[in-house]
A = this chain, B = another copy of it.
Amino acid sequence: MKTIEKIQSYLQTNNIDAAFVTTPDNVFYFTGFRSNPHERLLGVMIFKNADPFIICPKMEMPDAKAAGWAGKIIGHQDTENAWDILASAVKDNGQSIQSLAIEKSHMTVERLEAITKRFSSLQINRLDEKINELRVIKSEEELINMRKAAELADYAIEVGCKEIAEGKTELEILNAIELAVKEKGAAQMSFDTMVLSGPKTASPHGTPGDRKIQKGDFILFDLGVVYNGYCSDITRTVAFGEPSPDKREIYETVLKAELAAVHAVKPGVTAMELDKTARDVITDAGYGDYFTHRLGHGLGISVHEFPSITGVNEMVLEEGMVFTIEPGIYHPDITGVRIEDDVVVTSDGVEVLTKFPKELQIL
């Protein structure tokens, strides 16, 4: 069954007249049409009992068609009111809707007001959980893209390691990585590539800059590559020159935590158990206060998607789920270290998509 038909069947089961999907990543998931319309209206309207249509800026209509969407496409221009056009299109489709499912975690208050103004006494339902339920289980076709995206991420780390040299700046290394990855045919990184060195590794969300690499630094790469619309996300921390014993101890602790969590992945385990598996290793080693974030996050069309791998998420892992495992220790006086892999839950365990070595690389 195509994913869009799964939504139709959901609407029928729950007796909801229509679903309006406007997150660009979800529009891509259901239609194959990838677009970033900024503030302009893009959406796919899916009806319980009628054919769906895409609404998008008029100038993108050919792109929607080229992406393989064979259904109706409604265009709107900057001088027109897109919401009036949406309302007419629903009516033209022979539909009067009394209930509508929306992505409450994405739709703005303003947009919901624009919709409710045009459809009287509309009942609003959440669509978020249904979409999460579909997207969280990756098909084999999706996994093929994700494996390739991870392969490109591994390659990017390899390039980064080769670029490390005394006196080079973080930004120089970053640019060399992105150039190399794009030369391999990747159109886009999953997010702003991070190359942090020395004390800057201790900031989980630091910004690469002009700092020059020095002997004794740890260098942290956090990056991802988009392949056919699917993201990878990898972190490796490497040493430039022989590391001090306290840095090495932090590295080995993070590695032990990461491996413990990766090995714990299988159907039936909960997200919170995974987080605890890694966190316990770090806490037992005395660094608990320096592991300041969740263990990981879902990965796919979005670089951060459902599920969140936290200490409070009771969700049970199932075959086909893909997420990151990325424990870290951020010690302001010693160093930061994070190690991150992308993993798939298989029928009896785990497939690790990112394969760059995790033993401490001393360059």
On A, residues with C-beta under 8 Å from B are 35, 38-39, 57-60, 62-63, 77-79, 102, 104-110, 112-113, 124, 128, 171-172, 174-175, 178-179, 182-183, 185, 187-188, 192, 203-205, 207-210, 292-294, 304, 308, 310-312, 330
12 contacts between A and B (CB under 8 A): A59-B204, A59-B293, A78-B294, A104-B108, A104-B109, A105-B110, A107-B109, A171-B185, A171-B187, A178-B178, A185-B210, A187-B209
User: Which residues of B have CB within 8 Å of A174?
Assistant: 182
The 9 closest A-B pairs by CB, nearest first: A78-B294, A104-B110, A59-B292, A104-B109, A105-B110, A79-B311, A175-B179, A78-B310, A59-B204
- Cross-chain contact B178 with A175 (CB below 8 angstroms): yes
CA distance A185 to B174 in the complex (A): 12
Smallest CB separation, A187 vs chain B (Å): 6
Q: Given A35-B205, A79-B310: A108 and B105 within 8 A (CB)?
A: yes
- Cross-chain contact A39 with B304 (CB below 8 angstroms): yes
- Beyond the given pairs A57-B293, A63-B205, A104-B113, 17 more chain A to chain B contacts, judged by CB atoms under 8 angstroms and listed by A's residue number, are A60-B205, A78-B308, A78-B310, A79-B294, A102-B109, A104-B108, A104-B109, A106-B108, A107-B108, A107-B109, A109-B124, A171-B183, A175-B182, A185-B210, A187-B207, A187-B209, A188-B192
User: Which residues of B have CB within 8 Å of A113?
Assistant: 104
Closest residue of chain B to A272, judged by CB? Answer: B79
User: Which residues of B have CB within 8 Å of A308?
Assistant: 78
Closest residue of chain B to A174, judged by CB? Answer: B182
CA distance A27 to B292 in the complex (A): 23
- Cross-chain contact A312 with B203 (CB below 8 angstroms): no
Smallest CB separation, A206 vs chain B (Å): 8
Smallest CB separation, A10 vs chain B (Å): 19
Smallest CB separation, A2 vs chain B (Å): 25
- Cross-chain contact A182 with B171 (CB below 8 angstroms): yes
- Cross-chain contact A59 with B182 (CB below 8 angstroms): no
- Cross-chain contact A77 with B109 (CB below 8 angstroms): no
CA distance A293 to B79 in the complex (A): 8
CA distance A185 to B208 in the complex (A): 11
Closest residue of chain B to A75, judged by CB? Answer: B292
User: Which residues of B have CB within 8 Å of A57?
Assistant: 293
User: Which residues of B have CB within 8 Å of A310?
Assistant: 78-79
- Cross-chain contact B109 with A293 (CB below 8 angstroms): no
User: Which residues of B have CB within 8 Å of A205?
Assistant: 35, 59-60, 63
| Of A179, A210, A294, most B-chain CB atoms within 10 Å | A179
